[in-house]
Homo-oligomer: A and B are copies of this chain.
Amino acid sequence: MPNASKRTQSMPSSPIRKLAGYAVEAEKRGVHVHYLSIGQPDIAAPESFWNEVGGHSGPLSYTASQGIAPLRDAVAEDYRKRGIRLAATDLLVTVGASEATYFTFMTCFDEGDEVIVVEPFYANYLGFAHEAGVKLVPISTRIEDDFALPRASDIAAKITPRTKGILVCNPSNPTGTIYTVDQLMELAKITKQHNLFFVLDEVYRDFYFGTAKLMSGLEIEGLDENVVVLDSASKRFSLCGARVGFFISRNRDLIAGALKYGQARLSCPTLDQEGVVSAYRRTPQSYFNAVRTEYMARRDLIVELLSKIPGVVCPKIDGAFYALVRLPVDDADKFCEWMLTSFELNGETVQMAPASGFYATPGLGKDEVRIAYVLEKDKLTAAIRCIGAALAKYPGAVRTSVASI
């Protein structure tokens, strides 16, 4: 029989999704699983979206490959309201920010090119980089430093003749870290100096709990040709299942190049695009305020509860809706699997994402997990109680205080 391709055999599995089968099995045994593994909020999407997608008839047509004009207009206008100049032609609608990420790797980089990425990073960057044959070169950040960005000189030291870009996620998935204006400007300086692309994944920009300015890559002056921003409707409107994202750049060649990949796949989901136009146009500010207030309360809750569990390290979290947490365990992959296969507390357990898959450097993140605080507070409390109880029972737990130093 013919074999699957070699690249498929070496394609990394998603650390976020690879435990899904165990969770299904747990549910079949009657165990309730709290899903802290995936960034899928329980917050309602705006009514404006739902009002738009119902009540149609007729054929459901393809759209333009670049996305429907009202959506490109609405997104550009939304940026302009935030004081960021952007034309509708500076963006393409994509099948989620996932596809925007794929387009970025294909359009900006060739096989063998290197991209510097702040580690830990969104795990699926590894998958898309693998598909595109691009090498991710990690700059490691550490939980002990609240995942703060290293000095510019340390980053510049990673540059080789094959380096073609720098990729950061701000606010960061999986750490919740925010990069300051000064830090972004340092990175901008490096990208300009070395003629690199500066890719900023900003899908969590609505989930920012600080007071200092959260700067978009699109606000960096003089870097129009270098900057690509990835954005999404999924997180902003609790519309993960709508698969509507955005590839944004003022570099005309990149937009034209990415559109070729867009034309090959024809178009994005039509109904979702129409619903998202309505969400952009007709969602009141009170919706966003309420969502932000809710996430801040959840953040405060999980930081408080996790910090009470012996040996657990929960760093400072300023944005997104994730915490990258150190657990007193031998191997977080095994612990997460064990929680689904061999543990329950009053008929409940928790699925988390083991953090090793969020690092490119082998061996890092082995005792860390990513927790998405996307459930309501009662459920989060129950879930973290489960984690505490599991740690007390887990055969591979590390019971000295060493792990928490």
Q: Is A211 in contact with chain B by the CB < 8 A criterion?
A: no
B45 x A62 contact (CB < 8 A)? no
A107 x B8 contact (CB < 8 A)? yes
Q: Is A141 in contact with chain B by the CB < 8 A criterion?
A: no
User: How many Å lie between the Cα of A108 and that of B110 in the bound state?
Assistant: 21
Segment of A251-259, A326-334, A346-354, A388-396 in the binding face: A251-259
Determine the chain B residues whose CB is within 8 A of the CB of A17 once the complex forms: 65, 263, 266
Given known contacts A8-B257, A9-B257, A107-B4, is B61 in contact with A50 (CB within 8 Å)? no
User: Nearest chain-B residue to A267 (Cβ)?
Assistant: B241
A242 x B260 contact (CB < 8 A)? no
User: How many Å lie between the Cα of A264 and that of B102 in the bound state?
Assistant: 10
Closest approach, in angstroms, between the C-beta of A388 and any C-beta of chain B?
A: 27
Closest approach, in angstroms, between the C-beta of A33 and any C-beta of chain B?
A: 14
Cβ contact of A106, chosen from B5, B111, B164, cutoff 8 A: B5
Q: Is A311 in contact with chain B by the CB < 8 A criterion?
A: no
Determine the chain B residues whose CB is within 8 A of the CB of A63 once the complex forms: 241
B197 x A60 contact (CB < 8 A)? no
Given known contacts A4-B107, A5-B108, A59-B43, is B266 in contact with A96 (CB within 8 Å)? yes
A61 x B40 contact (CB < 8 A)? yes
Interface of A, secondary structure class, is loop
Determine the chain B residues whose CB is within 8 A of the CB of A266 once the complex forms: 17, 96, 98, 124, 240
Count of chain A residues with a beta carbon within 8 Å of a chain B beta carbon: 88
Q: Is A196 in contact with chain B by the CB < 8 A criterion?
A: yes
Interface string of A19-39 (1 = CB under 8 A from B): 010000000000000000010
Cβ contact of A124, chosen from B98, B107, B264, B272, cutoff 8 A: B264
Closest approach, in angstroms, between the C-beta of A5 and any C-beta of chain B?
A: 4
Closest approach, in angstroms, between the C-beta of A268 and any C-beta of chain B?
A: 7
Cβ contact of A44, chosen from B1, B11, B59, cutoff 8 A: B59
A59 x B38 contact (CB < 8 A)? no
Closest approach, in angstroms, between the C-beta of A29 and any C-beta of chain B?
A: 18
User: Nearest chain-B residue to A52 (Cβ)?
Assistant: B54
Closest approach, in angstroms, between the C-beta of A160 and any C-beta of chain B?
A: 15
Determine the chain B residues whose CB is within 8 A of the CB of A253 once the complex forms: 3-4
Closest approach, in angstroms, between the C-beta of A280 and any C-beta of chain B?
A: 15
User: How many Å lie between the Cα of A109 and that of B64 in the bound state?
Assistant: 30
B261 x A131 contact (CB < 8 A)? yes
User: Nearest chain-B residue to A61 (Cβ)?
Assistant: B241
Closest approach, in angstroms, between the C-beta of A174 and any C-beta of chain B?
A: 15
Given known contacts A17-B263, A239-B59, is B107 in contact with A257 (CB within 8 Å)? no
Determine the chain B residues whose CB is within 8 A of the CB of A265 once the complex forms: 95-96, 98-99, 102, 124
B98 x A264 contact (CB < 8 A)? yes
Closest approach, in angstroms, between the C-beta of A79 and any C-beta of chain B?
A: 22
A238 x B60 contact (CB < 8 A)? yes
Q: List 6 A-B contacts (CB under 8 A).
A: A2-B226, A8-B107, A8-B257, A44-B58, A124-B266, A131-B264
- Give me the 3 closest cross-chain CB pairs, A-B, nearest first: A54-B54, A241-B270, A127-B264
